[in-house]
Amino acid sequence: MASDPTLAAPIITDDQLLSHWQGHRRVTRRVLEAFPDTELFSFSIGSMRTFGELALELLAMDVPMLEELIEERPREYQPPTANTKEEVLRMWDEHTAQIDALWPRLPAEIFQQTKTVLGQYTSKVYDRLWCVIDNETHHRGQGYVYLRALGIEPPPFYLRD
Amino acid sequence: MASDPTLAAPIITDDQLLSHWQGHRRVTRRVLEAFPDTELFSFSIGSMRTFGELALELLAMDVPMLEELIEERPREYQPPTANTKEEVLRMWDEHTAQIDALWPRLPAEIFQQTKTVLGQYTSKVYDRLWCVIDNETHHRGQGYVYLRALGIEPPPFYLRD
């Protein structure tokens, strides 16, 4: 099909960005579930953080970032505390609902605006969102190695439903 | 700032998508460089593939996918062969240049069209591209664990320049 510049077809829509993120979050939830309770906050490789600690980092970035963008009120990076898989999964599900509720409140033009979030990062908003998703993918990849090292088959990476 | 629907601000532009991808590819190149030659195709954890094999998977998807999308000629998934870090880095750099050269030939409206690529995957093109980038981030996260297990400090994940 020939290119038609008058189409102004989007590369990606905001709904698609949200769906992609929540798809990743479903995979990460399955990785959390796959960990034995006893290993989530104890097992690691090469002096890295446990997967439980990595999940708390993710929870410190997702909803707080959206709240800061929408409310235009500075937020600090502050991971929540938890010591059990049950607590992490409960917070994960709360954030899933909060992300869905907050997302429609992002103004259409915000994605190309430059913002500082969580007192640390300044870039265009699409890039901030994408870096948070990338950070989840990066750390979840590490969780896959932990599961394999524990002799546990991880959930398929490519199934996002 | 109030939302102005007449702005039709993009979430992300095609140039930004390319920059994001090439930024990730620079990080992956640094991870490849950080591996000792002797470990790239021998070290792994939990019966997983070596980071060298994972890199060959990435090279089987990036340029072939773009060529298939642009030429509308079916391509198969076929990883290249290599046994040394030098060979992988040479192919990596060739693909960096090829991606930059191919990218402007993607028609503006293709990102929202549904295509099958590499004989395996069917979805909208933005999703195909994003899944290839995600796959790189996922496997590179695994490479970080390998490096840490080898006692090697990986390059910063968040520096993309």
pLDDT of residue B20: 97
The secondary element (H helix, E strand) that includes residue B140 is helix B125-149
pLDDT of residue A8: 62
Residue B4 is predicted with a pLDDT of 46
Q: Where are the domains of chain B?
A: 27-149
Q: Would you say residue A96 has pLDDT above 90?
A: yes
Q: Does residue B137 have a pLDDT over 50?
A: yes
Has residue B124 got a pLDDT over 80?
Answer: yes
pLDDT of residue A20: 97
Compute the distance between CA of residue B43 and CA of residue B53 in angstroms, rounded to an integer: 11
Q: How many CB pairs under 8 A join A and B?
A: 138
C-beta separation of B66 from B102 below 8 A: yes
Decide which of 3.30.530.20, 3.40.1390.10, 1.10.357.10, 1.20.120.450 is the CATH code for A13-149: 1.20.120.450
Give the model confidence (pLDDT) of A62-88 as tens digits: 999 999 999 988 999 999 999 999 999
pLDDT (average), residues A30-53: 97
Kindly give the pairing relationship between strand B114-117 and strand A121-124. Answer: unpaired
Q: What is the pLDDT of residues A143-157, one digit of tens each?
A: 999 999 999 999 999
Compute CA B68 distance to the chain's CA centroid, rounded to the nearest angstrom. 16
Which residue in chain B has the smallest CA separation from A145? B142
- Residues of chain B with pLDDT > 90, as a percent, come to 89
Please say if the pLDDT value at position B7 is more than 50. Answer: no
Q: Using alpha carbons, list the distances in angstroms from residue B45 to A147, A152, B39.
A: 10, 12, 12
* DSSP-assigned states of every residue in A5-72: GGG---SS-HHHHHHHHHHHHHHHHHHHHHS-HHHHTT--STTPPPHHHHHHHHHTTHHHHHHHHHHT
The confidence band for A7, taking pLDDT boundaries of 50, 70 and 90, is: very low
Rounded to a whole number of angstroms, the distance between the first and last alpha carbons of chain A is 31
Chain B, residues 129-158, CB within 8 A of chain A, namely: 130-131, 134-135, 137-142, 144-151, 157-158
- Assess whether pLDDT exceeds 60 at residue A120: yes
Q: Which of B11, B130, B132 to substitute to test the interface with A, most A CBs within 10 Å?
A: B11
Alpha carbons A141 and B1: distance in angstroms, whole number: 37
Beta pairing, strands B121-124 & B114-117: antiparallel
> Is residue B55 exposed (0-12), middle (13-18) or buried (19+ Cβ within 10 Å)?
buried
Lowest mean pLDDT among A78-82, A146-150, B7-11, B122-126: B7-11
Residue A9 has a pLDDT of 78
Q: Dihedral of the CA atoms A43, A147, B122, B94 (nearest 10)?
A: 70
At residue B158 the predicted structure's pLDDT band, cuts being 50, 70 and 90, is confident
Please indicate if any CB of chain B lies within 8 Å of the CB of A95.
Answer: no
- Supply the pLDDT for residue B55: 98
- Give CA–CA dist A54/A32, Å, rounded: 11
Residues of B in contact with A138 (CB under 8 A): 137-138, 140-141, 144, 157
Pairing status of strand A121-124 against strand A114-117: antiparallel
**Mean pLDDT score of chain A:** 94
Average pLDDT over residues B140-152: 98
CB B136 within 8 A of CB B25: yes
- B38–chain A Cβ distance below 8 A for any pair: no
- Tell which of B12, B31, B35, B158 to mutate to test the A interface (max A CBs under 10 Å): B12
Interface confidence (ipTM) of the complex = 0.93
Per-residue model confidence (pLDDT) at position A158: 87
Neighbours of A36 (CB within 10 A): 12
pLDDT for residue A3: 45
Name every residue whose Cβ is closer than 8 Å to that of residue A157 and which is 6 or more positions away in sequence.
Answer: A27, A144, B135, B138
pLDDT on residue A133: 97
Between B126, B139, B147, which is nearest A16 by CB? B126
**What gap in Å lies between CA A32 and CA A60, rounded to an integer?**
16
Predicted confidence band at A2 (pLDDT cuts at 50, 70, 90)? Answer: very low
Q: Look up residue B103 and give its DSSP letter.
A: G
pLDDT of residue B52: 98
Closest Cα of chain A to B43: distance in Å?
Answer: 13
* pLDDT tops 60 at residue B1: no
What φ, ψ does residue B154 adopt, rounded to 5°? -75, 160
What's the fold here for domain B27-149?
A: Four Helix Bundle (Hemerythrin (Met), subunit A) (1.20.120)
Question: Taking the CA of residue A62 as centre, how many other CA atoms within 13 Å lie in the half-sphere pointing to its CB?
Answer: 29
Residue matched to tokens 């901030």: A128
B8 pLDDT tier (thresholds 50, 70, 90)? low
User: Could you read off the pLDDT of B48-70 as tens digits, one per residue?
Assistant: 999 999 999 999 999 999 999 99
